[in-house]
Chain A
Amino acid sequence: MAVGSPQTEVLRMEHITKKFGSVYANRDINFDVRAGEVHTLLGENGAGKSTLMNVLFGLYQPTEGDIYVRGQKVKIESPSQAVKLGIGMVHQHFMLVEAMTVFENIILGDTRSKGIFIDRNARKEEILELSRKYGLDADLDHPITELAVGAQQRVEILKALYRGCDVLVLDEPTAALTDQEAEGLFEIMNKLKQEGKSVIFISHKMREVLRVSDRITILRAGQTVETVNIGEVSGEELANRMIGRELKPSQYVKSDSSGEIVAALDHVSYHKSSKHNGLNDVSLKVHRGEIVGIAGVDGNGQSQLAMLLTGNIAPEEGAMDLKNSKVTRFDPNGFIQENVSHIPEDRNKAGLVGNMSVADNLVLKSTRDKRFSDGNGMHLKKKAIRSYALEMQEKYDIRCSSVEQESRNLSGGNQQKVILARELEASPDLLVAVHPTRGLDIGATRFIHDTVIMQRDMGCGVLLISADFDEILEVSDRILVMFEGQIMGEYSGKNPPIDEISLAMAGK
């Protein structure tokens, strides 16, 4: 068969096994890629997708197994070798030097051109040609820090193409993108396919997987389940095979509680003139036993709303009531004493202390509790903390090697479960949850939704902020839409008018 025609195999990984210590991250995985196809690696967090790709890219050495590129057996010992073989990778956490410009990032490590000096004009011409060919517009002289996430990703793809890759690995490329940005990415992937390049697409979002893939390989717990062609199986079936059990479609019963009001904002404003980071005359109420969903595109004041309701910032105008008494002092500790729990939007920056153990993170808010310390926090009861942590590990299904493991080494879903355990064990009166399932797979997302609903049924008032519209629709009892710091409208969670809400989210 001619090189480059569809069905030509460009890459094959056979019986790949990778062990970290005694833990198998990959076990006997088989995987192949053909020219001009999008081949999806589907699997939950921790299924071994990233590890397999790091093996392919020469960042990890496989414990066992072989890799073939265009029929030739190869040993990939470093990323530069992978690049030479025509493999490019866009990592989940972008490998961009923020202090440098787009141009500098693309030519970094370049070995193709001769000479000591950077020939700016010639290089720029080459890059611009590539960017035209694949529809990847990029402003070459911009510093990386000034680019939006979607634009940074385009730089990463350009970087790989500039190095002449035939196989492009995209590791969870849509995790950080807005819906429009994701659409743009899919178009680029199509262009790449047309040019005969292959894409390895890593994801656990069923909707987009079904949309872009030609073939799908399912990984579970470090092993290949199977490879299927698109159209052979339904999305539901794929999801079941991915998590390894039947997942019933969720149907949460919506409540219409008119219980006591736990929190109320009365004409609150904060940095009013800022459209993206302020609040403008916001009034809302959260009752006991209901989930109030805040829908809206990210960056319309949701972060400030969450900060305000957890006492991290004080309003400039207006008032807040918490459990029927006016809040006079805004400080996080005071709010915690009032039984307000917070699932912050960035679990690494605000939710957890990465260098501390799972156990320590679990008791972070209650170190003065008699259960965990003597003398008001003077002396920690290590044994009690440990046994409590083990209990939580069981109850919240936190998967870690031990409760002494540093929390930064946990996968995103398990980190979120640690936060959930800490915040919900206090049986909060008010729970402020911001993007609680962002970046999590189906199983973990379901777990978190179930747990939050359970809290609601126990009488907790929940304010759920999410940029994921489906999530808002699924669990909210009442939906408020935010746009440019204002509440645009209020809708019932039962049979919500989806079109109307979508328009409100766009400010109409």
Chain B
Amino acid sequence: MGSFIANLLLATVRMASPLIFLSLAELYSQRAGLVNIGIEGLAAIGSLTGFLISLITGNPLLGVLAGALAGILVNMIFAYATITLCAEQIVYGMAINIFAPALAAFTYRVYFGSGSELVQVELMGTMKSMFGIKSDNFFVNLFLDQTPMVYLAYILVIVTAIYFTRTKSGLNYKAVGEYPKAAATLGINVIGIKYLSCIICGALAGIGGAYLTTCYSKTYVDGNVAGRGFIALAAVIFGRWSSGGVLIACLFFGFCDALQIRLQLVNNTLPYQFFQMIPYVATVVVLAIIGAKKAGPRASGQPYRKEER
């Protein structure tokens, strides 16, 4: 039983990491007033790009970088449409969710052909293996049997928290999502910050996707993001638009994910799909409880137009 719980906690941290990247992506976007529901699609293209590049170069870290870049590039479609053309954000987010995974699947087929068996790629090493530590202590595993990406996720949470609460730039950034017109009258570059938010969002979503193919699973399969991009949306609401809250939300959803896998393994009377539902049911339940009170950035979802009478 002890090892069950230990394994569960270890898996929670592993499962939460991609969610943290994706949720922070959404957080940065929403803080600038852009509700980007296309995180799922951005993660998909990041996942494939990460996979391809780490396969070609043999370096998972380069894969992650390439994933970030791909995420940014695809998110620029969203940025241009919603910021410059003031188009409906939900529509373009949805468009990305349809377009990007299809592009990923298409690229994979073009590169590997259809019908061939799954190509495997070397995963990023954990700190434990890098330093050659042999101990199997729980705490050693918890803190050291993790890839650098996991550390990066937690560092980003802290950096984000500091950025939004302690820095001048973070304050200006938040003002854009709350009341862009007021921000503009104070000399804040509203359009610039909105584009910046899309770059950060694209990069983080791409990294979150690339995590799945460089740190989590050796293969790429279509649909490997598996709704995490949507759970990230829930995590931002659950986390009340703060990075600490988002971290708690991600750990919670990560825990649900880890739990369902463990339960699948120990139980063989119930159909496994029943357990697979757990993270998604948890999302619905949490949103039903939390979502009633809206407290997000006030100008979320609204286009910003200059010289409007």
A: residues with CB less than 8 A from B are 20, 57, 59-61, 78-81, 83, 89, 91, 95-100, 104, 107-111, 113, 115-118, 159, 409
CB distance from A83 to the nearest CB of B (A): 6
Indicate if the CB atoms of B178 and A97 lie closer than 8 Å. yes
* Cross-chain pairs A/B with CB under 8 angstroms, 21 sampled: A79-B185, A79-B186, A91-B185, A95-B181, A97-B174, A97-B182, A97-B183, A98-B179, A99-B174, A99-B297, A100-B171, A100-B175, A104-B171, A108-B172, A109-B186, A109-B188, A110-B168, A116-B167, A116-B168, A118-B171, A409-B309
| Cα-based distance from A56 to B144 in the complex (angstroms) | 60
Interface check B187, CB cutoff 8 A: yes
Indicate if the CB atoms of A100 and B187 lie closer than 8 Å. no
| Cα-based distance from A91 to B181 in the complex (angstroms) | 11
Please give, as numbers and ranges, the residues of chain B lying within 8 Å of A409 by CB-CB distance: 309
Partner pick for A97 among B169, B179, B307, B309, CB 8 A cutoff: B179
Indicate if the CB atoms of B168 and A57 lie closer than 8 Å. no
User: SS class of chain A's interface: helix, strand, loop or mixed?
Assistant: loop
Chain B's closest residue to A115 (CB) is B168
| Cα-based distance from A329 to B37 in the complex (angstroms) | 45
Interface check B298, CB cutoff 8 A: yes
Indicate if the CB atoms of B187 and A111 lie closer than 8 Å. yes
| Cα-based distance from A99 to B298 in the complex (angstroms) | 8
Please give, as numbers and ranges, the residues of chain A lying within 8 Å of B293 by CB-CB distance: none
Interface check B184, CB cutoff 8 A: yes
Please give, as numbers and ranges, the residues of chain B lying within 8 Å of A159 by CB-CB distance: 186
Indicate if the CB atoms of B167 and A109 lie closer than 8 Å. no
Partner pick for B178 among A60, A81, A100, A107, CB 8 A cutoff: A100
The listed residue with most A CB atoms (<10 A of its CB), out of B172, B184, B187, B307, is B187
Partner pick for B172 among A57, A96, A109, CB 8 A cutoff: A109
Indicate if the CB atoms of A96 and B179 lie closer than 8 Å. yes
Interface check B134, CB cutoff 8 A: no
The listed residue with most A CB atoms (<10 A of its CB), out of B172, B185, B297, is B185
Chain A's closest residue to B168 (CB) is A118
Please give, as numbers and ranges, the residues of chain B lying within 8 Å of A57 by CB-CB distance: 185
B residues 160-198 touching A (CB-CB < 8 Å) = 166-169, 171-172, 174-175, 178-179, 181-188
How many CB-defined contacts (below 8 Å) exist between A and B?
76
| Cα-based distance from A319 to B183 in the complex (angstroms) | 51
Chain A's closest residue to B169 (CB) is A116
| Cα-based distance from A78 to B307 in the complex (angstroms) | 11
Partner pick for A59 among B175, B183, B185, CB 8 A cutoff: B185
| A107-B171 in contact given A95-B182, A98-B178 (Cβ < 8 Å) | yes
CB distance from B106 to the nearest CB of A (A): 40
Chain B's closest residue to A54 (CB) is B307
CB distance from B239 to the nearest CB of A (A): 16
CB distance from B21 to the nearest CB of A (A): 24
Partner pick for B182 among A60, A81, A83, A96, CB 8 A cutoff: A96
Chain A's closest residue to B295 (CB) is A99
The listed residue with most B CB atoms (<10 A of its CB), out of A78, A99, A110, A113, is A99
The listed residue with most B CB atoms (<10 A of its CB), out of A59, A83, A107, A109, is A109
Chain A's closest residue to B165 (CB) is A118
Partner pick for A108 among B175, B181, B298, B309, CB 8 A cutoff: B175
Chain A's closest residue to B307 (CB) is A60
Indicate if the CB atoms of B178 and A109 lie closer than 8 Å. no
Indicate if the CB atoms of A98 and B171 lie closer than 8 Å. no
Please give, as numbers and ranges, the residues of chain B lying within 8 Å of A89 by CB-CB distance: 185
Indicate if the CB atoms of B188 and A108 lie closer than 8 Å. yes
CB distance from B53 to the nearest CB of A (A): 33
Chain A's closest residue to B176 (CB) is A97
Indicate if the CB atoms of B183 and A109 lie closer than 8 Å. yes
Please give, as numbers and ranges, the residues of chain A lying within 8 Å of B169 by CB-CB distance: 116
Please give, as numbers and ranges, the residues of chain A lying within 8 Å of B298 by CB-CB distance: 98-99
| Cα-based distance from A383 to B246 in the complex (angstroms) | 54
Please give, as numbers and ranges, the residues of chain B lying within 8 Å of A104 by CB-CB distance: 171
Indicate if the CB atoms of B187 and A83 lie closer than 8 Å. yes
Please give, as numbers and ranges, the residues of chain A lying within 8 Å of B297 by CB-CB distance: 99
Please give, as numbers and ranges, the residues of chain B lying within 8 Å of A59 by CB-CB distance: 184-185, 307
CB distance from B162 to the nearest CB of A (A): 9
Please give, as numbers and ranges, the residues of chain A lying within 8 Å of B166 by CB-CB distance: 117-118
| Cα-based distance from A97 to B177 in the complex (angstroms) | 10
CB distance from B109 to the nearest CB of A (A): 46
Please give, as numbers and ranges, the residues of chain A lying within 8 Å of B188 by CB-CB distance: 108-109
| A99-B186 in contact given A104-B171, A118-B168 (Cβ < 8 Å) | no
Please give, as numbers and ranges, the residues of chain A lying within 8 Å of B182 by CB-CB distance: 95-97, 108
Partner pick for B174 among A80, A100, A118, CB 8 A cutoff: A100
Indicate if the CB atoms of A80 and B187 lie closer than 8 Å. yes
CB distance from B169 to the nearest CB of A (A): 7
Please give, as numbers and ranges, the residues of chain B lying within 8 Å of A61 by CB-CB distance: 307
Other A-B contacts than A60-B307, A79-B184, A100-B171, 16 sampled, CB-CB below 8 A, are A59-B307, A78-B187, A80-B186, A80-B187, A91-B185, A97-B182, A97-B183, A99-B298, A100-B174, A100-B178, A109-B175, A109-B186, A109-B187, A111-B187, A116-B169, A118-B167
Indicate if the CB atoms of B168 and A107 lie closer than 8 Å. yes
Indicate if the CB atoms of B167 and A108 lie closer than 8 Å. no
Indicate if the CB atoms of B178 and A99 lie closer than 8 Å. yes
| Cα-based distance from A107 to B174 in the complex (angstroms) | 13
CB distance from B72 to the nearest CB of A (A): 24
CB distance from A114 to the nearest CB of B (A): 10
Please give, as numbers and ranges, the residues of chain B lying within 8 Å of A100 by CB-CB distance: 171, 174-175, 178
The listed residue with most B CB atoms (<10 A of its CB), out of A60, A91, A108, A111, is A108
| Cα-based distance from A107 to B168 in the complex (angstroms) | 8
| Cα-based distance from A294 to B217 in the complex (angstroms) | 73
| Cα-based distance from A109 to B181 in the complex (angstroms) | 13
Indicate if the CB atoms of B167 and A117 lie closer than 8 Å. yes
Indicate if the CB atoms of B185 and A95 lie closer than 8 Å. yes
The listed residue with most A CB atoms (<10 A of its CB), out of B166, B171, B178, B307, is B171
